[in-house]
Structure 1
């Protein structure tokens, strides 16, 4: 499990990071995906960043 590995290496768990569950960030990333014509989980192509 990725979260257990992260915690083992010193990162706080997601319960300690309210930002991970914040609806504003979900909307922001949905907007970015819409602008890039991408779906959740699609890799970001470097040419989109130029």
Structure 2
């Protein structure tokens, strides 16, 4: 279920490598006086019934890689790497990307600061 600033997903065992993965992503844009616009993400959920919670921030130019970070965190908490969170129901993820692009004022072709990419690779 998607609504601006929030995505809730439930992926049951028969859909994903025999695992159950339930998570919520809450995101917003925050202004940092030194870094500029930052995407702040709070992720809560369960992998096979084990709860977890994580928070992270990404620079404006690297924010569109946030599902890469989400996948790493899910794997850290027990999700099998073959069962990434963006495999099923792709249309909801497209809506999340569009929402983030609108919130950040992102456009195609915006250059990436490689130092941001190194620092934001959680």
TM-score by length of 2: 0.19
Higher relative contact order (CA 8 A, sep 6+): 2
Task: Identify, as 1 or 2, the structure richer in strand.
Answer: 2
Task: Identify, as 1 or 2, the structure richer in helix.
Answer: 1
TM-score by length of 1: 0.39
